[in-house]
Amino acid sequence: MNQVQKEAFRLYHYPLSPHCRKLRLVLTEKQIEFALREERYWERRAEFTIVNPSGMVPLLKKGSTFLSDSQAICEYIEAEYPVPVLLPQDAQQAYEARRLVGWFDDKFNREVTSPLVFERLLRRIQGKGPPDASRISSSLKALRTHMKYLHYLLDNRRWLAGERMTLADFAASAHLSCLDYINDVDWDYSSTIKDWYSTLKSRPAFRPLLSDYIPGVMPPHHYSDLDF
Amino acid sequence: MNQVQKEAFRLYHYPLSPHCRKLRLVLTEKQIEFALREERYWERRAEFTIVNPSGMVPLLKKGSTFLSDSQAICEYIEAEYPVPVLLPQDAQQAYEARRLVGWFDDKFNREVTSPLVFERLLRRIQGKGPPDASRISSSLKALRTHMKYLHYLLDNRRWLAGERMTLADFAASAHLSCLDYINDVDWDYSSTIKDWYSTLKSRPAFRPLLSDYIPGVMPPHHYSDLDF
């Protein structure tokens, strides 16, 4: 089945937002063309908040309609552009994919990605003083626990939610890619995780994420290296 | 189409968890029988966390399978028990329902329900000292902003996400019912909101929520009154 391009999309995003990265991966995998516009959402630009009461990124403009909430958008895209399938038809398999999307976008984000990206990077960009070392330390500790769980899942499955690649793989790798930009992922911890991430990183959809650049914050050399 | 009871369900919940209340409403509306088991999730009971690595409620036991993440569960239930429809077939309408579920379960919960329920009730139950008055004050301020948005939506629509009752109505009313238990909802603010909530509150599915009781914390008289 061929994908038909229905309308032009514009994505308001921030480069190190894992929810935006997940959506960029989904759109590209589904061969949906979109324009990117960087949004420093914390500045609460009036034209942005008026069309987006949540004030958060991602915000997807489709024609004259604005869509917010990354998971609601992903479900919408899945229904309207079903190829390739990223949420399995089988209810139990779809449940597992959604559970893991929630795991990363809610729990992992709250315990790991959001505090680390804020403390190491956004705090400086937003002019909010020096990083909170104890918050970094507890987030890194939480990251180790999550890596253990990620290893456990991938050790028993081909992809994160089962035998097929799903939205869960994009959600999880979007988070890891943000953490990799700020050099917080220990790739030596598990070759299983590294191999899985390497496979995702090699997909064409991942390439634009690897050339993201935040002025003044260089990612480590291995960030964009496919043989890291 | 008649609903067929497939297996026995058991729901591990906490009475004033909005995510659990949303799921209780969904299960009851779909005439799925389930047993309730109260879980003081913060005590991290070993038998609970071993089958539920997130450590959170709700946890739904179906046969020998455990399901977590309230939204992933609701999507699963919707697929397996499609009557009555709580997520519209139309992709744009389903998007709007999911966006509003996310609005309440993420944003509203983080800014309002979670801090207020914790400060007014869980803090005491968990033995964590006196309430933080400034946190209560900023959460109540956020609640007023959200009530304005809720009024705006309901003033333009029959139900929260459009012309039909959806999961969004259950998510939103689950949050308001938690806040009403601790007497934080100003029902005089908007007769539109009050009428909408009153309609939901009158549904048989709502009745069990209205007889919830947390030892030592009496809800206000109007909490269970259908003519409040």
| Model-wide pTM > 0.90 | yes
Is the minimum CB–CB distance between B94 and chain A shorter than 8 Å? yes
| Residue in B with minimal Cα distance to A107 | B54
| pLDDT score at A168 | 98
B68:A149 CB<8 A = no
A80:B98 CB<8 A = no
- Mean local confidence (pLDDT), B131-146: 98
Q: With CA atoms as reference, report the closest residue to A19 among A59, A75, A63.
A: A59
**Per-residue pLDDT in tens (0 to 9) along chain A, 228 residues:** 445 555 589 999 999 999 999 999 999 999 999 999 999 999 999 999 999 999 999 999 999 999 999 999 999 999 999 999 999 999 999 999 999 999 999 999 999 999 999 999 999 999 999 999 999 999 999 999 999 999 999 999 999 999 999 999 999 999 999 999 999 999 999 999 999 999 999 999 999 999 999 998 999 999 999 988
Chain B: closest CA distance from residue A58 (Å): 12
Integer Cα distance of A108 and A178 in angstroms: 12
Please count the other Cβ atoms lying within 10 Å of the Cβ belonging to residue B147: 17
Integer Cα distance of A113 and A104 in angstroms: 9
Interface probe for A, chosen from B70, B78, B95 (most Cβ of A below 10 Å), is B95
Q: What's B222's DSSP letter? A: G
Question: Assign residue A37 a region: left if phi > 0, alpha if psi is -120 to 50, beta otherwise?
Answer: beta
A156-173 burial, b for 16+ CB within 10 Å, e for fewer?
A: eeebbbbebbbbbbbbbb
| pLDDT score at B101 | 98
| pLDDT score at B7 | 55
pLDDT band at residue B24 under the 50/70/90 scheme: very high
Rg (CA), chain B: 17
Is the minimum CB–CB distance between B50 and chain A shorter than 8 Å? no
| Residue in B with minimal Cα distance to A73 | B95
CATH label, B91-203, candidates 1.25.40.10, 3.40.50.300, 1.10.3720.10, 1.20.1050.10: 1.20.1050.10
| pLDDT score at B88 | 98
Is the minimum CB–CB distance between A167 and chain B shorter than 8 Å? no
| pLDDT score at B2 | 47
Interacting residues of A192 by C-beta distance below 8 A, sequence separation 6+: A151, A154, A155
A67:B95 CB<8 A = yes
A95:B73 CB<8 A = yes
Query: Nearest by CB to B69, which of A73, A75, A102?
Result: A102
Say yes or no to pLDDT of B4 above 80: no
Query: Nearest by CB to A72, which of B79, B80, B95?
Result: B95
pLDDT band at residue B6 under the 50/70/90 scheme: low
Collect all residues of chain B within an 8 Å Cβ-Cβ radius of residue A95. 67, 72-73, 75-76
Q: Which strands form B59-62's sheet, in the order they lie side by side?
A: B34-38, B9-13, B59-62, B65-68
Report the complex ipTM: 0.95
B71:A103 CB<8 A = no
| pLDDT score at B115 | 98
